[in-house]
Structure 1
Amino acid sequence: MKPKQTYLLLILSFLLLQACVNKDCGCVAPPETGISYFYTSIKQFTIYEVQEIDYSLTQNPSIKNYQIKESVASFFTDLDGKETLRIERFKRTTENEAWQIDSVFTAKKRSNEALKTENNQTFVKFVFPLYENQTWDGNAYNALGKDDYTVKKLHQPFSIGNKTFRKTATIIQQDDSTLVDLKKRIEVYAEGVGLIYAENKDLTYCNKPDCLGKNTIDFGKSFIMKIKDYGTE
């Protein structure tokens, strides 16, 4: 083959490769591992609206509304030589108040899992690659006892208010419901954003004959957190 023909063939091959990378041309796409659902960049921030409700047999429900801001402040190398993110969490009651530091925790992504450490407890938030109905022990790195997490609605859209996130993953940590109680813990993550919704309910229902099965709450706690804003600082 002549040099000129070889040169033209190389150019054509390169252009075809670029078309494959940038457009849907029937090429085999790289596998979606799910790693982009978990803390994607330094200086990333997310603001959440939070509502906490405490139910009591003797008093009216106590309702607290406030905002939380999580900021990926920096990264450092841990004792195992792994890059670890420092996450700063701030809190305020209303938008007119200044943010006050609430806590600091860490997170890290490995090739096969994502870990988050709060109050000296490490939790396995993801195991990669993600797939529908996948299950793992979220407490594999702590002494709290086995706690199975399950992936549902993988890469499906999820809406919060006027925001719709095209690709999300719902992680079911617990979802047990009976006539007399409800124990539910779920987290929803969006691609390129991270956590967008969290729900934690531990409720005990009235079990008297006149209210059994009506989901009338006797006591317990409800925590719901919804994304309000996100971006890069």
Structure 2
Amino acid sequence: MQKIYPIKCPKLSDSYWIRGLHVLVVSFLYSCSSSDSADFKPSTLVTKDYLMQEKGQFCIFSVRQISYLLNQKATETLFIEKHIVIDHPVDNEGVLIAIFRKNQENASWIETGRKLVVLQNSKIIEIQSNQTQCILVNPIEVGTQWNFQLYNQTKAQQAQIIRVLPQVIYANKTMSNLVEVELFKDSSALSLQKKQVFLAPNWGVVFSKESNVSYCYEGNCLGKGQINYGTVITYDLIDYGKE
């Protein structure tokens, strides 16, 4: 019967083999991480990414406003609004935006106002009609909170990031990293004051809904959400680009 002899290895110390194994493992892990790092490295977004960046950028919104009056039928108003960057402020990161409106698709645009959107201390600030509001802060993650009325002499209103959407189809185009923000909410059985917005990188606010209504509080309607009076206005993006 043929004998099987063990293979003799050179006599080396245990520490030598441990060092050699360590080098082999580190080399293997490095080769894997270097080839896959581009796929697994997460992107970090900051408030600056949610500003319009260039002159000529525009967003067009379909706007729907519902007005309620006591003991009357609610009325609905529809129009189209265009927000376009016309200039950059001198000493701040941000843009000056002109707002145009028309009631029908084939009508001419009429300028109705302007707003300044700037970055101050890593906060996105909107200034329009003598109102200054903080609409987004760092970090861009679910649960981040701040005072929406930070620059106003009014009561504090807590804003909060509700969710971050990795990728969605919006206005017939693919958008990534949309941020849903609840800018304020004051809700009771008698009234609702709430504003919700979505912001997209490079475009800013692409959707908003603001409710300011009072509910019926007499008889059997209490607590049923029946609106007595107030307004609900929704801005829904339908097109965007650069002129």
Give the TM-score, by structure 1 length.
0.80
- What SS does the corresponding residue of 2:88 show, helix, strand or coil? strand
Provide the residue aligned with 1:40 in structure 2: 53
Shift in CA distance, 169/29, structure 1 to aligned 2, threshold 3 Å: closer
Which of 109, 119, 135 is 1:125 aligned to?
135
Shift in CA distance, 34/155, structure 1 to aligned 2, threshold 3 Å: farther
List alignment gaps of at least 5 residues for structure 1.
1-17
Structure 2 matches for 1:1-233, cutoff 5 A? 23-24=38-39, 26=40, 28-29=41-42, 31-77=44-90, 81-110=91-120, 112-157=122-167, 165-233=175-243
Deviation at 1:162, TM superposition (A): 5.0
- 1:210 aligned partner, one-letter code: N
Deviation at 1:160, TM superposition (A): 5.2
Partner Cα separation in structure 1 for residue 143 and residue 201 of structure 2: 18
* Runs of 4 or more above 4 Å deviation: 18-21, 156-164
- 1:107 aligned partner, one-letter code: V
Provide the residue aligned with 1:10 in structure 2: none
Provide the residue aligned with 2:19 in structure 1: none
- What SS does the corresponding residue of 1:144 show, helix, strand or coil? coil
Contact 1:160–1:226, Cα closer than 8 Å, also in 2: no
Pair member with larger Rg = 2
Contact 2:60–2:82, Cα closer than 8 Å, also in 1: yes
Q: Give deviations 1:147-192, integer Å, cap 9, x for gaps.
A: 2211111244456575553321111022333333222211111223
Contact 1:112–1:129, Cα closer than 8 Å, also in 2: no
Contact 2:51–2:94, Cα closer than 8 Å, also in 1: no
- 2:235 aligned partner, one-letter code: M
Partner Cα separation in structure 2 for residue 172 and residue 83 of structure 1: 24
Provide the residue aligned with 2:10 in structure 1: none
Partner Cα separation in structure 1 for residue 223 and residue 175 of structure 2: 35
Deviation at 1:86, TM superposition (A): 1.2
> Does 200-209 or 46-55 show the bigger shift?
200-209
List alignment gaps of at least 5 residues for structure 2.
1-33
Q: Percent identity?
A: 22
Q: Give deviations 1:86-140, integer Å, cap 9, x for gaps.
A: 1100011011101001101211124511111111222112112322111111222
Partner Cα separation in structure 2 for residue 224 and residue 164 of structure 1: 21
Shift in CA distance, 105/150, structure 1 to aligned 2, threshold 3 Å: same
RMSD: 2.6
**Higher percent of residues as helix:** 2
> Does 177-186 or 216-225 show the bigger shift?
177-186
Q: How many residues align?
A: 212
Contact 1:40–1:194, Cα closer than 8 Å, also in 2: no
